[in-house]
Amino acid sequence: MDPIDDNKWDERHDPRTEASPAPGGTTPDVTGAADRGERHLDQARGLALMGGNMPLYQRVLAGFVQTYANLRLDLDNPEDRRNLHSLKGLSGNVGASRLQELAAALEKNGNAALLAAFYQELSEVLDEIRALLGVENPISAEHRGATGGGSR
């Protein structure tokens, strides 16, 4: 395999290194998940589903952020239900299994009580993707540049 050229994707994000056992037979946490807390994105799975094509995976992740960053669903709206269906499939493709499960549950029964959990998971996935791509969260940037205690 060719080495990964993009500096943002170092060996910590390479599924070839994630699967290699450490001395003593355990698999090391090379992704930094312990530093970040729970992972919401299984990069190795997403990359594998993209045939190991890192540039493709990065483009799909960037498109995911662009498409779903401001998603607000009305479960009674057929267009929003189609968006939810698309998000469900794409979530699985990028390695966001929990988000995929929540989207499937919403799609199946339209349970509005799941919306809060869905939005929270979507937010976590988006933040993790932005961190991987080196893209700053625009809301965070806005608040860092603000003087005083402005509101959203």
In a domain, 27, yes or no: no
Q: What pLDDT does 113 receive? A: 80
Residue 102 lies in a domain: yes
Range of the domain at 97: 11-19+37-137
pLDDT for the residue numbered 112: 74
CB crowding 84-98: b at 16 or more within 10 Å, else e: beebbebbbebbbeb
Q: Is residue 53 part of a domain?
A: yes
Between CA 65 and CA 88 the distance in angstroms is 14
In a domain, 152, yes or no: no
Look at residues 65, 105, 107 and name the one whose alpha carbon lies nearest to residue 85. 107
Distance between CA 43 and CA 13 in Å, rounded? 7
CATH number at residue 76: 1.20.120
Nearest to 131, CA basis, from 75, 83, 65 = 65
pLDDT value at residue 138: 52
| Total structural domains within the chain | 1
- 61 found inside a domain: yes
Within a domain: residue 64? yes
Q: How many other C-beta atoms are found inside a 10 Å radius of the C-beta of residue 151?
A: 5
CA distance 14 to 12: 6
> Residue 98 falls within a domain, yes or no?
yes
pLDDT means per 10 residues, the chain with 152 residues, are 40 36 31 52 95 96 96 92 95 96 91 88 97 71 38 36
Three-class DSSP category at 122: helix
pLDDT at 109: 87
pTM over 0.75: no
In the 8-state DSSP scheme, what is residue 36? H
Q: Which residues contact 42 (CB under 8 A, 6 or more apart)?
A: 95, 96, 97
Residue 79 is assigned to a structural domain of this protein: yes
